[in-house]
């Protein structure tokens, strides 16, 4: 009888051992961002880490060494398919080239939270903002500041990025409402400060009068400022993202304004969504964060370094 009791006890321990081990293991969330050069994506990663610590989740970052490199991101997806995390947070470097990789994640039944750049596939939710409206509001704010007249140049982001295409469509919509605005030229800065600096240097060589620079992100706005300073010229500059270096330039008066495409808040929300999915908590099909103009009237709220910011609560974002 004693031997039978011991055998039953041993069987019970074996039965419950896997559950105990599973309870001891942290959930793992793989976070894909486009590059290590854009401060907006650094803010996103900081946000993911903050939520990870709070949820006692393991956050693993996948960042191409070469900015926005498709081949590198594809290789990273292959690694994730082997590692099988509990969830993936995915910002594709290209919304066409990465479709097959997303299909593989779907076929492997690895849940994906899609962020910022829409593309075909199956996702537990999408987190982003309306880039068309962001571009429109940015351009309209600039054109109104110019009094509806002026010569401008446009510095676009990465052509393959949906964020860029939508922002440019927003610019086109605003330009249709302001016939007095003349676009001297448009160049590709690839969302990178050095790229924008090169583009702006060429613009300054080609055009003796540039009244304003419409930039598709803050990093490129800062690059345009560098080129203007080197050339000893001035122009009104506006950007998107609300990153701290740009907000400080708003404070100094060197940049007119920025639109708060807040990758920190988006990172917080996307990571909370992944955690909620793993915990079997409800999720909406889509979470769209509102954009806000940052200018001299309100910039102080954005002067807090991203490392010192706290993620908003889920209930404050998803209402």
The DSSP line for 185-251 is EEEE-TT-HHHHHHHHHHHHHH-S---EEEESSHHHHHHHHHHHHHHT---EEEEES--HHHHHHHH
Which of the listed residues 209, 241, 259 is the one where a domain comes to its end? 259
Give yes or no: residues 103 and 151 share one domain.
no
Q: Is residue 5 part of a domain?
A: no
What does the alpha-carbon distance between residue 115 and residue 110 come to, in Å, rounded to a whole number? 16
Give yes or no: residues 25 and 107 share one domain.
yes
Give yes or no: residues 125 and 267 share one domain.
yes
CATH number at residue 58: 3.40.50.2300
Q: Is residue 37 part of a domain?
A: yes
Give yes or no: residues 173 and 100 share one domain.
no
Q: Which residue is it, tokens 């610590």? A: 53
Give yes or no: residues 269 and 254 share one domain.
no
What does the alpha-carbon distance between residue 15 and residue 29 come to, in Å, rounded to a whole number? 28
Which of the listed residues 236, 259, 282 is the one where a domain comes to its end? 259
CA dihedral 194, 33, 39, 56 (to 10 degrees): -160
Q: Is residue 82 part of a domain?
A: yes
Q: Is residue 96 part of a domain?
A: yes
Give yes or no: residues 84 and 154 share one domain.
no
Say how many CA atoms lie within 13 Å of 175 toward its Cβ.
Answer: 17
Predicted pLDDT of residue 80: 98
The whole domain housing 220 covers 131-259
Q: Is residue 69 part of a domain?
A: yes
Predicted pLDDT of residue 319: 80
Domain count for the chain: 2
Q: Is residue 221 part of a domain?
A: yes
Tokens standing for residue 79: 């690694």
Give yes or no: residues 53 and 118 share one domain.
yes
Q: Is residue 162 part of a domain?
A: yes
* Predicted confidence (pLDDT) per residue in 128-172, tens digit: 999 999 999 999 999 999 999 999 999 999 998 889 999 999 999
Say how many CA atoms lie within 13 Å of 75 toward its Cβ.
Answer: 9
Say how many CA atoms lie within 13 Å of 130 toward its Cβ.
Answer: 11
What does the alpha-carbon distance between residue 18 and residue 231 come to, in Å, rounded to a whole number? 67
Predicted pLDDT of residue 278: 98
Q: Is residue 308 part of a domain?
A: no
Give yes or no: residues 182 and 125 share one domain.
no
Q: Classify the C-alpha dihedral 62-67-68-73 as positive or negative.
A: negative
DSSP label at residue 158: -
**Distance (Å) of CA 27 to CA 5, 15, 187:** 36, 22, 43
Give yes or no: residues 227 and 287 share one domain.
no
Predicted pLDDT of residue 261: 87
**Residue 84 in 3-state DSSP?**
coil
Which of the listed residues 215, 243, 259 is the one where a domain comes to its end? 259
What sections of the chain are H helices per DSSP?
Answer: 2-24, 39-55, 70-83, 99-107, 131-145, 162-175, 193-206, 218-231, 244-252, 263-278, 314-317
Kindly give the parts of the chain with pLDDT less than 50: 1-24
Give yes or no: residues 162 and 69 share one domain.
no
Give yes or no: residues 255 and 268 share one domain.
no
Give yes or no: residues 77 and 144 share one domain.
no
């Amino acid at each position: 009888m004693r031997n039978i009791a011991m055998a039953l006890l041993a069987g019970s321990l074996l039965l419950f051992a896997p559950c105990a081990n599973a309870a001891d293991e942290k959930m793992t969330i793989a976070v894909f961002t486009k590059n290590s050069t854009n401060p907006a994506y650094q803010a996103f990663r900081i946000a993911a880490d903050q939520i990870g610590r709070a949820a006692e989740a393991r956050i693993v970052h996948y960042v191409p060494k070469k900015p926005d490199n498709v081949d590198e991101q594809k290789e990273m997806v292959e690694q994730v398919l082997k590692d099988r995390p509990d969830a993936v947070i995915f910002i594709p470097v290209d919304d066409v080239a990465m479709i097959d990789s997303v299909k593989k994640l779907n076929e492997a039944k690895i849940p994906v939270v899609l962020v910022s750049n829409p593309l075909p596939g199956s996702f537990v939710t999408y987190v982003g903002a309306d880039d068309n409206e962001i571009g429109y509001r940015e351009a309209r704010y600039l054109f109104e500041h110019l009094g509806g007249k002026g010569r401008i140049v446009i510095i676009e982001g990465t052509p393959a990025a949906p964020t860029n295409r939508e922002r440019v469509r927003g610019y086109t919509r605003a330009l249709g409402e302001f016939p007095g605005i003349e676009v001297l030229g448009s160049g590709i800065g690839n969302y990178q400060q050095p790229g924008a600096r090169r583009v702006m240097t060429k613009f300054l060589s080609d055009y003796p009068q540039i009244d304003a620079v419409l930039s598709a992100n803050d990093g490129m706005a800062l690059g345009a400022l560098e080129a203007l300073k080197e050339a000893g010229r001035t122009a009104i500059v506006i950007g998107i993202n609300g990153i701290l270096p740009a907000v400080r330039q708003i404070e100094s008066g060197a940049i007119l304004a920025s639109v708060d495409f807040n990758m920190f808040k988006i990172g917080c929300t996307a990571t909370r969504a992944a955690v909620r999915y793993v915990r079997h908590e409800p999720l909406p099909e889509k979470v769209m964060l509102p954009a806000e103009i940052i200018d001299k009237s309100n910039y102080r709220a954005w002067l807090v370094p991203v490392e010192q910011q706290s993620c908003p609560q889920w209930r404050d974002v998803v209402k």
